[in-house]
Structure 1
Amino acid sequence: MTDESSGVVAEVFQNEYVPVGATVADAVVTVTAGGGGTSRPAHGAPAAEVIMIDCSGSMSGERLVQARKAAAVAVDTLRDGVSFAVVAGTDWAQMVYPDRQTLAVADHATRAAAKDAIRHLKAGGGTKIGAWLTLARELFLADRAEIRHAILLTDGRNGESTGTFERALEQCKGLFVCDSRGVGQNWSAAELIKIADALLGTADGMKDPAGLEADFRSMIEAAMGKTVAGVTLRVWTPAGATIRFVKQVHPEILDLTGRRTDVSARVGDYPIGAWGAESRDYHLSVELGSDTIGDIGEEKLAARVSVVRGDDVLAKGLVRVVWTDEEAKSTRLNKRVAHYTGAAELASAIQEGLAAREAGDTVTATARLGRAVQLATEAGRSDTVQLLGRVVEVQDARTGTVQLKRRSENKDVDIDAEIAALGSRKTTRVRPN
């Protein structure tokens, strides 16, 4: 359903038929915005950008050379009038451009000055990502832009305590979107995923820094295409029902369940960030109360989903349940729901398996990574199976029978596993039933 004036459409994909006595309703809601849910042209949306470049000691050499080039390309891609800053990250966060703790306004002169400052970036020191994010937060708070986006590039693991890092992320939630990138061979997928989950951005990594320029250009182009921020997915459920989860499942998996803000006892908002002309998929799972179970043939509303910005409802969709005793109806899988259920399980299996491997829990690591190999094989993701094959010896891919390999001094093996963890979060879309 759509509000014609908003340009936003919400489509619900599900098999509404469930067996007699069933209480769980699953649906995928596809939200498509022709112009970001606003009639305002893209160039009229006030925007701000903060580019954070790791300048720790390990970035010396080719990584820093390519990072400078990528940051310069990002600055060149900013449209006129966008507020921006470049930050160097080490044991602390330092302003590169402008030289004061403020944001500059993009034009020919400021872009040239920023690129000149970027050319003088030097490597030295450690890595404290929370400090970098904290400075970005302070810069954004001092600006009135509606669209707030950041890029964070690192080649290493965070040197802060877990508590310090997570407190910084918590303080940044809801203020800006951050796309995080790892380069080289010593960054942590788990840390990049934490940033992506908290700040509703993407996470990716690469061994070869030569790919940074194109990636930075793509991220800035996407950010410049956003026209409206502060959009939420509002979910109403009937009395007695509970939300099992709400996840963005395309183009990248983001679990929004814990980000709920209660509007009322039966209505909650889940943040879905800034939008341009794009389409995303969300998986909603609802547990109905046992006292609401219907009779054969009875239909009930399991959820009402709305795309909301402020007081404006941009689009609506309905999730229904019909109880049936016909097995052919109740066992028919909706292709989108089944597809994304498998993708989410694959991502969890890889991340949990690698975390267990890192912690020395070989039993859990073997079980979870074996399951990941099995799921990736079933989904036809041969690239993921190949990357996992650097970490486990695959004995039978179809059954997920694997043996954990010994930790190697070859860092390529470990970073391939980190890349697999990030890659598992990216999904493709299937045709609807």
Structure 2
Amino acid sequence: MDAPSDLPYDERRADALITVTAHSAAGSAPQTPGAEILIMDRSLSMSGHKLDEAKRAMCAAIDTLRDGARLGIIAGNHDAHVIFPTTGGLARVDARTREDAKLRVIGQLAEGGTAIGQWLARAHRLFASVDSPGTVRHAVLYTDGKDEHETPEQLRDILTSCTDRFVCDARGLGDDWHYIELLLITQALHGTAEAVVTISDLTEDFTRLMREAQRIVVPRVYLGLRLNDRFQLAFVRQTRPVDAELTARQQQGDETHVPLGSWPPETRQYQVSLQFDPHSLTVDEPLRAARVTLHAELPDGTRGPCSETAAMVVRRRSTPGFGIAPSPDLTRVENERELGMAMRACADAHLRGDLDRADRELRLAIGLAESLRDTARLQLLRAVATSGPDGRLRVRRNVSRGQMQGIGVDSTKTATRPVDPHELAPRDAGLPRVCPRCGTTSTSPTAKFCEECGHRFGNAGVAGGPVDAL
């Protein structure tokens, strides 16, 4: 825990950065198989090639699941229908159920509208049929459209009811979905959001998601906070590997539990912010503001501490605010959040047709990404940038809506570490790729397959053909 103890005389806020790492125990295996629900969008806008590719991705995901896992499949439009299993609950995966599940997927037709909240509510009820404690509950959904058949308030209410019940990853296909809805879902349900601009990339993405879901080692983790009565909890945010506000709270005796979702072996970072009346603190007296303990769901479904308790200690100084240097790590977190806000402002402005505002926000975002040495987000921004007539950077006028949705989705992904300037990608990186087989130009610089003929892109074209525009 990184918690600067010295506070300026007139400060009203104390912050801590908490880094948590989950490890796989040597030789351990899950005692309870995971439960997986695949949610497919079969609304009318999915007709044709998109639905064919989505079915291929769903079938690949089914093939990736381990024997013994529990599986359910929901087909969603303006309603939600469990298409597998047809007998209720979730089915145990084996060779026969895999084939049955794939046949049900292949038989779906596109019709109706989009109500994503209904899909998630149906998944919630389906997961409730799993009575084994300590089960990892994971869902994945894709959509190609906006959530038009329910209100934002209805979606938020459903997400509140689903929080801490299961984890959900979400994917936006093509150009016509809305990245804000995906971020709303994945922040509430502790999942990942991605833009899949090239539809044929969905199969590889879903296969990877299934493999990652099977690496989860702890079904549920909670950040336990026991506060001194002079302090109030202002907010808790995840800061790495994605930036997300965590709003759910559960009271366990005198301790507040903040759900952190399911955990594979990885490292995450959180910012805890406390507020207080400065006049309630004695000058130069160390004071324990909070005790912080991690809790995990055990195989029997109960919660138990999985870390030592750490103390957040503060001391109010007589020095004014300018006399105490801020924490470099907390400053970086704030700057990374500002970068994300600029990226979302750029995407929003472009999507509503305000190109001048989009250009200004793009230049601001690129400057922040360069100063932070955030390679990943800098590459994304440069992929949609070009030099205007005045020599300044601006958004490419032929950039697709799907690419700008990707800027919005990826705005929350934070760098794992600063990198050296020579590691940054060149400014001409991210050009559209040209298929060496049929000559079709892809709509995305990160496409892995040609949208026209299905050719898999490599680092170079076939012998005698044109080289991919990387």
Look up the match of 2:81.
94
Structure 1 unmatched ranges of 5 or more: 1-11
Look up the match of 1:41.
28
Q: Note the C-alpha offset of 1:294.
A: 4.2
The answer (yes or no) to whether the contact 1:288–1:302 under 8 Å persists in 2 is no
Q: 1:317 aligns with which of 310, 321, 325?
A: 310
The answer (yes or no) to whether the contact 2:78–2:149 under 8 Å persists in 1 is no
Separation of aligned partners in 1, 2:322 and 2:35 = 53
Look up the match of 2:236.
246
State the number of aligned residues.
405
Render the CA deviation track for 1:36-86: whole Å, top value 9, x for unaligned.
8xx993332332110011122222333222212211121122112111012
Separation of aligned partners in 1, 2:227 and 2:290 = 5
Look up the match of 2:103.
116
Look up the match of 2:176.
186
Q: Is residue 2:142 matched to residue 1:149? A: no
Q: 1:231 aligns with which of 221, 231, 247?
A: 221
Look up the match of 1:202.
192
Look up the match of 1:8.
none
Partner SS for 2:182: helix
Write out aligned runs for 1:59-78 (5 A).
59-78=46-65
Q: Which is helix-richer, 1 or 2? A: 1
Q: Is residue 2:265 matched to residue 1:277? A: yes
Q: Is residue 2:201 matched to residue 1:215? A: no
Label 1:259 to 1:371 Cα distance change in 2 as closer, same or farther (>3 A): farther
Partner SS for 1:123: coil
- Structure number with the bigger relative contact order (C-alpha 8 A, sep ≥ 6) is 1
Q: Note the C-alpha offset of 1:113.
A: 2.0
Label 1:135 to 1:40 Cα distance change in 2 as closer, same or farther (>3 A): farther
Q: Is residue 2:256 matched to residue 1:268? A: yes
Separation of aligned partners in 2, 1:84 and 1:119 = 16
Separation of aligned partners in 1, 2:245 and 2:156 = 17
Separation of aligned partners in 2, 1:21 and 1:143 = 52
Q: Note the C-alpha offset of 1:318.
A: 2.6
Q: Is residue 2:341 matched to residue 1:348? A: yes
Separation of aligned partners in 2, 1:279 and 1:105 = 31
Render the CA deviation track for 1:230-267: whole Å, top value 9, x for unaligned.
321011222221222211111122211x2122345x63
Write out aligned runs for 1:276-295 (5 A).
276-295=264-283
Partner SS for 1:44: coil
Q: Note the C-alpha offset of 1:285.
A: 1.6
Q: Is residue 2:328 matched to residue 1:334? A: yes
The answer (yes or no) to whether the contact 1:203–1:422 under 8 Å persists in 2 is yes
Partner SS for 1:320: strand
What amino acid does structure 1 have at the position aligned with 2:306? L
Separation of aligned partners in 2, 1:199 and 1:79 = 23
Q: Which is strand-richer, 1 or 2? A: 1
Separation of aligned partners in 2, 1:81 and 1:387 = 43
Q: Note the C-alpha offset of 1:161.
A: 2.5
Q: Note the C-alpha offset of 1:188.
A: 0.7
The answer (yes or no) to whether the contact 1:45–1:228 under 8 Å persists in 2 is no
Separation of aligned partners in 1, 2:358 and 2:155 = 25
Separation of aligned partners in 2, 1:221 and 1:18 = 45
What amino acid does structure 1 have at the position aligned with 2:272? L
Q: Note the C-alpha offset of 1:332.
A: 5.1
Q: Note the C-alpha offset of 1:360.
A: 8.1
The answer (yes or no) to whether the contact 1:350–1:424 under 8 Å persists in 2 is yes
The answer (yes or no) to whether the contact 2:350–2:404 under 8 Å persists in 1 is no
Separation of aligned partners in 2, 1:395 and 1:260 = 50
The answer (yes or no) to whether the contact 2:136–2:219 under 8 Å persists in 1 is yes
Label 1:220 to 1:141 Cα distance change in 2 as closer, same or farther (>3 A): same
Q: Note the C-alpha offset of 1:326.
A: 10
What CA RMSD, in Å, does the superposition of the two structures yield over aligned residues? Answer: 3.3
Structure 2 unmatched ranges of 5 or more: 297-301, 419-470
Which has more radius of gyration?
A: 2
The answer (yes or no) to whether the contact 1:153–1:182 under 8 Å persists in 2 is yes
Look up the match of 1:427.
414
What amino acid does structure 1 have at the position aligned with 2:286? E
Which range moves more in the overlay, 145-154 or 97-106?
Answer: 97-106
The answer (yes or no) to whether the contact 1:181–1:203 under 8 Å persists in 2 is yes
What amino acid does structure 2 have at the position aligned with 1:214? E
Separation of aligned partners in 2, 1:97 and 1:88 = 9
What amino acid does structure 1 have at the position aligned with 2:147? N
Separation of aligned partners in 1, 2:392 and 2:314 = 39
Label 1:55 to 1:251 Cα distance change in 2 as closer, same or farther (>3 A): same
Separation of aligned partners in 2, 1:125 and 1:115 = 22
The answer (yes or no) to whether the contact 1:90–1:128 under 8 Å persists in 2 is yes
Separation of aligned partners in 2, 1:14 and 1:429 = 19
Label 1:209 to 1:394 Cα distance change in 2 as closer, same or farther (>3 A): farther
